Every structure is written in C-alpha cells, then in structure tokens.
A = this chain, B = another copy of it.
Amino acid sequence: MDSDSIDSADFSKLLLGPGPSNVPQRILKAISNNCISHLDPDFFDILDEISKNLKNLFKTKNETTFAISGTGSAGMEAAFANIIEKDDKALIFNSGLFGDRMADVASRYGGRVIEVKKEWGKNFKFQEMKEAIDREKDLKVVAIVHAETSTGSFQPIEELGEYLKNSDIIFIVDSVTSFTGINLEVDNWSIDICYSGTQKCLNVPPGLSPITFSEKALNKIKKRKEKVQSWYLDINLLKDYHEQSRVYHHTAPVNMLYGFNEGLKICLEEGLEERFSRHQKVSKYFDSIIKSTDFGFFVDKESDSLPMLKSLVLPKSISDDLRLEILKNDRIEIGGGLGHTKGLIWRVGFMGCNAEIKNVDIFFEVLKSYV
C-alpha cells in the first residue's frame, strides 16, 4: 500500500462499518478537480484509463468493463435488467439481504426466480449448488453474492463458475464487498457479469458501480426479443459511449469518475496480492482478540468469514445503542445488523486503506472504555 494514501487521509470519523469506508485525501483531491465535459477528448482518455485499470483489477479481458452511473445496487439492477427476459428462469443462491435483493430485482424484470435459501451467515458448498442446478431444466441465469455484506460470510465461487462454463447459463456475481479485498478472477472463474461498488475496499465515495460483461453475456443480450426495460442501464447504449464510438448516452458523472480512477490506481500501485494479505493479516489479528471477549462470531467457521467485514454476535452485556454512542463520542462508525439480525449483531469493517492493525487496536481500546 502506498503509505502516503493512508497517512494523508485526515479522517473526520473512522468508518469501521460495512461501507462507506474512509476515503484517502488523494481520492478526494481527484474528485475535486475541475469538471470538464463528458464529451471532451481529455475525458475520453480518462475513461480509457479507467477501463484498462478496471480490467486489471477484475482480472478480465472483457471489452465491456466500465462504471455504471449509480451505486452498487444500480450495478445489480444493470446485470439483471440486461440479461433477464420475460419468464427466464433464474436460480439465486440466497443467504443474506443481498441475496434477497437479487431475487426481488430479477423478478421485477420478469424472471421466474428460484431461490435456494440458506440460514444467514452460512455459505453454500459446491456439491449442493451443483445439485440445485442439475434439478432445474432450461435455467438461464445463476446468481450469487461473493461476499454477503449483511452477514460477513464468504462464498467460494470458483468451482461453480467452472461448472457453468460450458453451459448456456449466465453466471452473475455480486462482488460489492469482495472487490480488491479478496481474490476475484472474472475470466478464470468464468463469471459472465460481475458488478461491485466503490465505497468498500476501493475507498472511493459511493455513487458508481464497476461492472464487466463477458462475450457470452453480451451474446444473450444481443438476442433479446424486447428492448432492455431500463433505458438508463441498457448495456447496448452504454457500450457505445464507454467503448469505441463515444456516442452520447447520458452525462457521465465526471468528478466521481476522476476519484474512481484514482482509487483504481492506488490498488494497482499496492498490488492486489499485497492488498489481499493486508486484509487477511488484520482479520486474523482482530479474530485473535475477539476470542478473548464475550462477543461471538456470527459466521461459525473462520475460513467462511470475510476478512474485510467481521460480524459479531453481541453479548447480553452490550446494547446495540452503544454503536450510536461511540459514533457520537468517539467519531467511530460501527455497523449494525440488518433484517432479523438488527440489534443482535455488529458488523465491523476494515476495508481498503482501513485494513490496518492500528484500527483494530483503536476499536478495542474504545470498546474497553465503555464495557
């Protein structure tokens, strides 16, 4: 990690929730550059650079790799809106809020959604996913969340991609929280559509969704009988602007894209492997201390737990209200539970530049001052 980008970050609050994470000054500075036109050749150079850098980080050669002009949830919607045609059968492996969201989005776009559900905090084993897929005929889409932000659970997807590779099934992966924090290989794992967010391990403010489409996905979209229902997210139109012809579609969010490019550069300067092991190191350190407290792990197995987002079961002695007290008094954000875990768990994030041993120490020091 370029130490400058960590040290120079003057955090007004320490964001140890599930995102947004803290934004290095270098990225904030880029965002505050003067705005130029979305049709300026100088801006096209920036778009080219973004695409090149993003391909490197997604580990893909996909030509159609850029940022959707909306948050990670807009990326999710772009994936399903483009791929799903009326009555397309979509199998969704769901073990958290973002699995629920996938099912909702896919069905809004006319998909026949089959959900395979699992208790929150658990992940799916390849064998059971294979069996679920084999049970279904005429499956068009399989979708899964790589890193479930609502539970802190890690979902291995490599074998699943390998299994779907030679089928006609489109493989959609949500990498909102995993991207640049743990290994993700779009091409090697045969992912057809992969989307992410910017406000997690990338440390760019929320507002954009990096996305990539394989040739296989684009071919399915080309054969659609009806137009993509969303004009704003129609990949046929977005491709024209983001790739060669630069035809105007909508006005790209210029300043956010300045910051996004800076975030991508910071990752590439550090190197992905270095970045992954930094997250692992901090996670192991955090876990080793948690074991000596009254907190429980919401995700049972250590190897199933995300390094950048730790989900903790609150002991009876600690009220969820303490989070807001800490935010107010100590200017440290900790995430609460979503859905039925509200009030029962905390989600503690060490994402991107926040994945530092010192932040773990700060977390426990502050906690100690209250309990």
Contacts and interface: CB of A to CB of B under 8 A. Distances in A.
B23 A34 contact: yes
Given A70-B69, A205-B255, A333-B37, A229 B108 contact: yes
Contacts of A250: 71-74
Nearest to A109: B229
A77 B232 contact: yes
B29 A13 contact: no
A38 to B, nearest CB: 7
A17 interface: yes
A251 B206 CA distance: 7
B17 A35 contact: no
Interface in A101-141: 101, 104-105, 108-109
Interface in A228-250: 228-232, 248-250
Contacts of A108: 227-231
B73 A253 contact: no
A32 interface: yes
A22 B33 CA distance: 11
A228 to B, nearest CB: 7
Contact of A254 (B20, B197, B338): B20
A40 interface: yes
Contacts of A69: 70-71, 74, 207
Given A31-B31, A327-B40, A205 B253 contact: yes
A201 interface: no
Interface string A214-234: 000000000000011111100
Given A227-B108, A232-B73, A333-B37, A20 B251 contact: yes
Interface in A1-27: 10-13, 15, 17, 19-20, 22-23
Interface SS of chain A: loop
B197 A232 contact: no
A28 interface: yes
Stoichiometry, copies per complex: 2
Contacts of A251: 19-20, 71-73, 197, 199, 206
Chain A's interface size range is 35 or more
A231 B73 contact: yes
A227 B109 CA distance: 10
Contacts of A229: 108-109, 229-230
A366 interface: no
A252 interface: yes
A74 B259 CA distance: 21
Interface string A186-214: 00000000000101000001110000000
A233 to B, nearest CB: 8
B254 A40 contact: no
Nearest to A259: B255
Nearest to A199: B251
A92 interface: no
7 contacts: A32-B32, A41-B324, A72-B251, A73-B232, A77-B231, A207-B207, A207-B255
Given A31-B32, A35-B206, 8 more contacts: A10-B34, A15-B37, A20-B36, A28-B33, A35-B205, A69-B207, A77-B230, A206-B254
Interface of A: 10-13, 15, 17, 19-20, 22-23, 28-29, 31-41, 69-74, 77, 81, 101, 104-105, 108-109, 197, 199, 205-207, 227-232, 248-256, 259, 324, 327-328, 333, 338
